[in-house]
Amino acid sequence: MTLLLVEQFLNGLQIGLLLFLLAAGLTLVFGIMDLVNLAHGSLYMMGAFFAAVLTEWTGSFLAGALLALPATALLGIVTEVIALRNLYTRDHLDHVLATFGLILFFNELARVLFGVGGMAIPLPDSLLTHFEILPGLPYPTYRFLIILVGLLCAGFLYVLVQRTRLGMLIRAGATNREMVGALGVDIKLLFTLVFGLGSALAALAGLMAAPITTVQIGMGDNILILALVVIVIGGIGSIRGAFIASLLIGLVDTMGRAFLPNMLGTVLSPADAGTVSEALSSMLIYILMSGVLILRPAGLFPAPGR
């Protein structure tokens, strides 16, 4: 039972960190550029498709993944320069409309380029192995790798945002855009860089998820809703908030799915317990969001100045 608890905890951690990779990019773009980017899920999808194609070409998952990151960042930058740059002065509803259009565009683009069948990224044998985290608890190497990459990425973002000049500008931009511009910083360039970084993070999330969930058209549409929940809980623009909120959601969701049926089974009939626990476990994260919003309407870690 304890081992199962540890295993489910790791599962929750892994789902949470995957979500963090996606939400981090979204919250950066949302917080700093004040842009509602629904097409973030499309960049997640395109990143996964790029990784799948490049893995096929190079024959190596690592090479495919490393090439897909700059490719998606470039795609993000091109999208920003062509389509999104003109929207910054408009209101949020225009952002929603335009980026929703981009979702349709990217889904159709993926269909034309890669076909309706979707793609799979087969893992190399070295990643298909298991190792014993604790005695009697084998855990898939690849899922453990996701946890490692997620934590490394969180560390990288922390250093970038808190300890570098670029990070200082990003934080300043999140607090007061006009002032940063008035001080002579090229805000246009900064925005483009941030959008590129956000796109690369989306691609990293997509390509890490792809060997588990396969690559398919529209794969970013549903998970985007979860990512939005994350940044609402974490506080818009806060990487730290996104990190905490992602882990919360990953753990609450997994633990709910893992243990609610048995817990309810002690008071309800098995059939009812199944139905109720499934419904309840899919509601849990939204209940969590409502609770956080009641106590802290701006989220757990709102960026200062908002």
Partner 1 sequence: MKVSTLLRVTGALAVSALALAAAEPAAAQAKKIKIGFVTTLSGPNAAYGVDMRNSFELALEHLGRKMGGIPVEVIYEDDEQKPEVGKQKTDKLMQRDRVDIVAGYIWSNVLLASYKSVVDNNTFLISANAGPSQLAGEQCHKNFFAASWANEQNPMGVGHLLNQKNVQKLYIVAPNYAAGQDMANGVKATFKGQVVGQDMTRWPDQLDFSAEISKIRAAKPDAVYVFFPGRAGVQFLTQYTQANLKKEIPLYSVFTIDGVTLKLQKDQALDTFFGLFWAPDLPYAANTKFVTDYKKKHKDTPTFYGAQSYDVANLINSAVVATKGDLKNKDAFRAALEAAKFESVRGPMKFNKNHFPIHAIYQQEVYKVSDSEYDIRTISKIIDNLEDPSAPKCKM
Question: Interface with partner 1 by CB under 8 A: which residues?
Answer: 3-4, 7-8, 11-12, 14-15, 38, 96, 100, 103, 107, 111, 116-120, 123, 128, 130, 138, 140, 142-143, 209, 211-214, 216-219, 221-225, 228, 254, 257-258, 261, 270, 274-275, 278-279, 281-282
Judged by beta carbon, residue 38 or residue 247, the one nearer partner 1 is: 38
Least distance (Å) from partner 1 to the CB of residue 116?
A: 4
Nearer CB in complex with partner 1: 44/177 = 44
| Listed residue (157, 173, 150) closest to 18, CA to CA | 150
Residue 196 to residue 90: CA distance in whole angstroms: 21
Long-range contacts of 219-224 (CB under 8 A, 24+ apart): 219/41, 219/44, 219/45, 219/48, 220/40, 220/41, 220/42, 220/43, 220/44, 220/45, 220/103, 221/41, 221/103, 223/19, 223/22, 223/41, 223/44, 224/22, 224/26, 224/38, 224/40, 224/41, 224/44
Find the shortest distance in angstroms from Cβ 133 to partner 1: 12
Element housing 19 (H / E): helix 2-33
Cβ at position 43, least distance to partner 1 in Å: 15
Q: Which is nearer to partner 1, 87 or 103 (CB)?
A: 103
Shortest spacing between CB 256 and partner 1, in angstroms = 9
CB of 135 to partner 1, least distance (A): 15
**Helices 92-114 and 40-58, axial angle in degrees (round to 10):** 20
- State in angstroms the smallest separation of the CB of 107 from partner 1: 7
Backbone angles phi, psi at 132, to 5 degrees: -85, 110
Which alpha helices (H) appear in 176-306, and where do they start and end?
177-182, 187-213, 219-234, 239-265, 270-295
Give CA–CA dist 207/46, Å, rounded: 9
- In the bound complex, what is the minimum distance in angstroms from residue 205's beta carbon to partner 1? 13
**Looking at beta carbons only, is 61 or 73 nearer to partner 1?**
61
Task: For the CB of residue 21, give the shortest distance to partner 1 in the complex, in Å.
Answer: 14
State in angstroms the smallest separation of the CB of 61 from partner 1.
13
DSSP conformational letter for 59: S
Considering only CA atoms, which of 139, 106, 117, 129 is closest in space to residue 40?
106
Q: What separation, in Å, do the N-terminal and C-terminal C-alpha atoms of the chain show?
A: 45
Instruction: Between 11 and 192, name the residue whose CB sits nearer to partner 1.
Output: 11
Between 189 and 271, CB nearer to partner 1? 271
Q: 238 vs 20, 27, 58, 230, 300, CA distance in Å?
A: 12, 7, 37, 11, 9
Q: Which two tokens stand for residue 86?
A: 């003109």
